A = this chain, B = another copy of it.
Amino acid sequence: MEKTFALRGDICYSKARDCIECIEDSWLVCEQGINQGVFKQLPDKYQGVKVYDYRRHIITPGLVDLHVHAPQYSFRALNMDMELIEWLNTNTFPEEAKYVDLEYAKRAYELFVRDLSIGATTRAAVFATLHVESTEILMDLLEESGIRAVVGKVNMDRNSPDNLREASAVRSEADTRRWLESVLGKYQHVAPILTPRFIPSCTDELMARLANIQREYHLPVQSHLSENPGEIRWVEELCPDTNCYGEAYDKYGLFGGDCPTIMAHCVYPSQMEIALMKERGVFIAHCPQSNTNLSSGIAPIRTYLDNHMPVGLGSDVAGGFMTSIFRAMADAIQVSKLRWRLVDDSLKPLTVDEAFYLGTKGGGAFFGKVGSFEKGYEFDALVLDDSNLSHPQQLSVKQRLERLIYLSDDRNIIGKFIFGKKI
């Protein structure tokens, strides 16, 4: 890592939830992986440091994917004409079962990590499968790529086929401990996260055992919450003693509080669930593309933002068909407009500024001071060449960023830095 260096270009970042700051031809300075601020001129004390000259290009914080299933990348954009539970049984479980085969896992995970590497994502919260060894292969590959990620070996001991179900809660716990002993401290950029698949896949006994592991290792947790009406009814049947889906995690202490937690989807929260998520500081991973593809619905993100709850974006591959978080920003805006029109016109659609916040600083907060160019933030940056997005008129830096959100793909990414390291 170069200890101190500077980037020069057209700089964009979220100053606040509803405000993108755009500063033409300015400087960023990175020292030891930490951003020193945005400067109109390179300060005297940094004269002589290495400079990356990206004038006329746009520089943004790296993008954060708060929810993605690595083993599902193989069947992205296939066979999505069904709802969640049928889709899990038809596509997901048979595919994930293949990851017992380490050669298949390696081949598939290499494709996933290569895509993530050439894309805009710099941080990710990743689901693997229940298999310990192939999960470690995925973690090895992510470590090599430089992407900072939390990765979860999945826990699931009920309601799935024999070839994708842990034999018992005891076995699931034992495998999880074996995995943790192997990976803890092994990586610079990658860390484990506890990953009960979702309530229908986890017995009470398994949840209790995972709770013990969580307290012992102080691990963060990721799972799914209130994605689909049929799923929610199923959880009500499975957990007759809880008042909402979230409580089924909370009663084991796996729902925020001292246990940093990401819950994906949160499409149909009850008032009680919203209050509980807020009290516990649960991160919401909004996955608009997946919620559309699986006909789940549209999450009330404006409600979460108005309640000052932490929200980021997830690609949710392969419920989503693309890993792009720029695409997730566009999707988040689009579905919020349809929700305003079709469901509840008291919740105004998300703006470009808000969607950009969600995909950078909003999700980044799960990883610490991540997702902004304010002083003291970890130095994750993208350099974007928008010269292929032709236009006959003058455009401001903000307008060019808006276009990149809607129209860019990996061709536009010409530089990527993660925690001060050029990838």
Contact = CB atoms under 8 A, between A and B. Distances in A.
- Copy tally for this chain in the complex stands at 2
Contact of A77 (B81, B339, B403): B403
A139 B282 CA distance: 56
Name the prevailing secondary structure of the A interface residues. helix
A341 B297 contact: yes
7 contacts: A78-B402, A295-B338, A295-B340, A295-B341, A297-B341, A321-B407, A411-B411
B402 A108 contact: no
Contact of A81 (B104, B114, B335, B352): B352
A342 interface: yes
Given A74-B393, A402-B78, A341 B111 contact: no
A292 B393 CA distance: 25
A187 interface: no
A78 B191 CA distance: 39
Contact of A295 (B78, B80, B349, B411): B349
Interface residues of A, number: 53
B111 A390 contact: yes
A399 interface: yes
A274 to B, nearest CB: 20
* Residue in A79, A114, A289, A406 whose Cβ sees the most chain B Cβ within 10 Å: A406
Given A335-B338, A349-B81, A403-B78, A392 B108 contact: yes
A322 B407 contact: yes
A45 interface: no
Contacts of A80: 333
A104 B393 CA distance: 9
